[in-house]
Structure 1
Amino acid sequence: MKLKGVNCLPDAIAALRAGDIAVFENLYDLFEPRLFAFAMHLLGHKEEAEEIVQEVFLKVWEGRSQLNPEQNFGGYLFSIAKNIAYNRARHRAYEVAFAQYFKVTGTGAGCFTEETIAYRDLERLLQETYATLPPVRRQVFVLSRLEGKSNGEIAQLLSTSTSNIENHLHKALKAIREKLRISNAL
């Protein structure tokens, strides 16, 4: 694979890590058609597929310093696109479920119930808790639980072993459970 001014994909990734915008544009031109087709296959909506492609490349640009030149870059892009598409589908399912709930219970969507307040309190407590985790543990937790990445993907992204990622997740979840137990006791 030959990119303008770059001999191979690992060289292109190394240049991208250094912030070479021309290489980024070349990689976009190279992978955009296949990513778009993949996103269309998953979602069936042109606008959403275009948004996913843009979001994938935004994530690549923002995380360029973490890219591994030896990693399968195409696989990495498709993995990001798949996660974004699944997160959007999950979000849509939640919206439909909440709309159905409000319809069945006769509760207005704008009405703040005790459950909504409790949910927001829990969400705030969780955010405060994982903000106190050590930086790497917090990063692993966010990538796993909030971004939906697999342990293998996180290990590859952070250049470490899957067992190390599992250890970080175990300790993060233990700390969160302990914090929730303490908060419940209060």
Structure 2
Amino acid sequence: MYLKAFSDLVLVNQLKAEDDRAAFNELYLRYWKVIYDIAAKKLQDPDLAKDVVHDLFVELWYKRHTLVIHTTFAGYLYTMLNHRFIDLQRKKAVHTRAQNELLKTHETASESVHDSFIYAELETRLMHRIEHLPPAMRQIFLLSRQEQLSPQEIAERLSLSTQTVKNQIQNALLRLKEFQMEK
């Protein structure tokens, strides 16, 4: 079947109704480069842009049966991409706040001997909390914090995408921050 002649609408309908991988591949080939170029320009990080585009098309595949497109397919992809940008900005802001809170905790704890004991207790509790993270998340978090590996190095070591590693680190920090806020 020669899919290049079909419109996006026909390919989307084939994808939805028939799980047509060839239709999905044709849509991917038509749009991945355009979406990647937009992401790379916005993010100023080619690796992150690749991960975002990859995740976008993976999400598209998983949501293929429930796709409701009120615009062109290109417009739909652009909207999905903008939602990814917003999510990344939100995660970055949360990550920055969590790091700042951890830094404040560390700085305050080192001010006095009494605070040092409190810090040691918090560190013990934090390590206990880290031990209760899901195994993959814990492994990624510890590689990041104890071995000080970059997300790219962790991704290569564990055969994961860099974005998956970043997401796992972010989720671990969020869980640890929730633990800190409970105290």
Shorter-chain TM-score above 0.5: yes
Is 1:13 matched with 2:12? Answer: yes
- Report SS of the residue matched to 2:6: coil
Equivalent-residue separation in structure 1 for 2:5 and 2:181 (angstroms): 51
Whether the 8 Å CA contact 1:13–1:69 is kept in 2: the answer is no
Is 1:50 matched with 2:50? Answer: yes
Name the % identity: 18
Equivalent-residue separation in structure 1 for 2:67 and 2:178 (angstroms): 39
When structure 1 is superposed on structure 2, of 14-23 and 65-74 the one drifting more is 65-74
- Could you list the per-position Cα deviations for residues 131-175 of structure 1 after superposition, in whole angstroms to 9, with x for gaps in the alignment? xxxxxxxxxxxxxxxxxxxxxxxxxxxxxxxxxxxxxxxxxxxxx
Unmatched tracts of structure 2, length 5 or more: 110-118, 130-176
Whether the 8 Å CA contact 1:6–1:12 is kept in 2: the answer is no
- Could you list the per-position Cα deviations for residues 20-58 of structure 1 after superposition, in whole angstroms to 9, with x for gaps in the alignment? 101111100100011001111221100110011111111
- Taking only aligned residues, the RMSD between alpha carbons, in angstroms, comes to 2.7
Unmatched tracts of structure 1, length 5 or more: 121-186
Which of 1 and 2 has greater Rg?
2
Residue in structure 2 matched with residue 105 of structure 1 by the alignment:
105
Whether the 8 Å CA contact 2:28–2:57 is kept in 1: the answer is yes
TM-score, length basis structure 1: 0.54
Distance apart, 1:101 and its partner CA: 1.6
AA of the residue aligned to 1:116 = E
Residue in structure 1 matched with residue 163 of structure 2 by the alignment:
none
In structure 2, do the counterparts of structure 1 residues 5 and 38 end up closer, same or farther at CA, with 3 Å as the change threshold?
closer
AA of the residue aligned to 1:14 = N
Residue in structure 1 matched with residue 178 of structure 2 by the alignment:
116
Equivalent-residue separation in structure 1 for 2:25 and 2:65 (angstroms): 16
Residue in structure 2 matched with residue 150 of structure 1 by the alignment:
none
- The alignment of Structure 1 onto Structure 2 pairs a total of residues equal to 117
AA of the residue aligned to 1:41 = K
Residue in structure 2 matched with residue 28 of structure 1 by the alignment:
28
Equivalent-residue separation in structure 1 for 2:50 and 2:89 (angstroms): 15
Distance apart, 1:70 and its partner CA: 6.0
Displaced runs of 4 or more, over 3 A: 68-71, 107-113, 115-120
Equivalent-residue separation in structure 2 for 1:105 and 1:67 (angstroms): 46
Distance apart, 1:119 and its partner CA: 5.7
Equivalent-residue separation in structure 2 for 1:15 and 1:98 (angstroms): 45
Whether the 8 Å CA contact 1:10–1:70 is kept in 2: the answer is no
After TM superposition, the structure 1 = structure 2 runs for residues 26-175 of structure 1, keeping only pairs within 5 Å, are: 26-68=26-68, 71-106=71-106, 111-112=125-126, 116-117=178-179
TM-score, length basis structure 2: 0.55
Equivalent-residue separation in structure 2 for 1:116 and 1:35 (angstroms): 35
